[in-house]
Amino acid sequence: MQRADDYRERRAAVARLTDGDLHKEFWDLAGKVVDPLVELARTHTSPSIERSVLLRMGFSSLEAKGIVDKCLERGLLGKGAGNCVYRLSKMRGCGTREAGLNLAAGDGWDEVEQSFRGKPVRGGAEA
């Protein structure tokens, strides 16, 4: 099966555009293609994704697994494991590593849960 050559017809739609207009059109179309992926990433996560986030925050795979497992137990995975670590670090005024290790050990989860119930987080971040 041979593809019909419709280059001239498709080109006519963009022939009148300037380089600036073409640049804008390209990025508008690229945004339309990517928007559904961005929305999917915003609304869906998994233990694997959350472990990956924690690995990039500097935690070992065993530490990340411990944090993610406790997020799952508490029903907080959808809030983001890295977000939980960050919130605890702000509330306690400590580094993210210390906060994450506390969470992996089971300490601080009540504070994190409370922060998602509308209580302000010390350090400026809001719930």
Tens digits of residue pLDDT in 27-62: 999 999 999 988 887 788 899 999 999 999 999 999
Q: Is residue 17 part of a domain?
A: yes
What would the mean pLDDT of 70-77 be, rounded to a whole number?
A: 94
Residues 95 and 110 both lie in one domain = yes
Q: Is residue 80 part of a domain?
A: yes
The answer, yes or no, to whether residue 97 has pLDDT greater than 60, is yes
Q: Is residue 123 part of a domain?
A: no
The answer, yes or no, to whether residue 11 has pLDDT greater than 60, is yes
Q: Is residue 1 part of a domain?
A: no
Residues 93 and 36 both lie in one domain = no
Residues 59 and 95 both lie in one domain = yes
> Residue 119: what pLDDT?
53
* Cβ–Cβ < 8 Å for 115, 79: no
Entry field: residues in the chain: 127
Structural domains of the chain, count: 2
Q: Which two tokens stand for residue 50?
A: 């959350």
In which domain, by residue range, is 101 found?
47-115
What would the mean pLDDT of 59-78 be, rounded to a whole number?
A: 95
Residues 12 and 67 both lie in one domain = no
Residues 51 and 111 both lie in one domain = yes
The answer, yes or no, to whether residue 126 has pLDDT greater than 50, is no
**d(C-alpha 110, C-alpha 31), whole Å:** 39
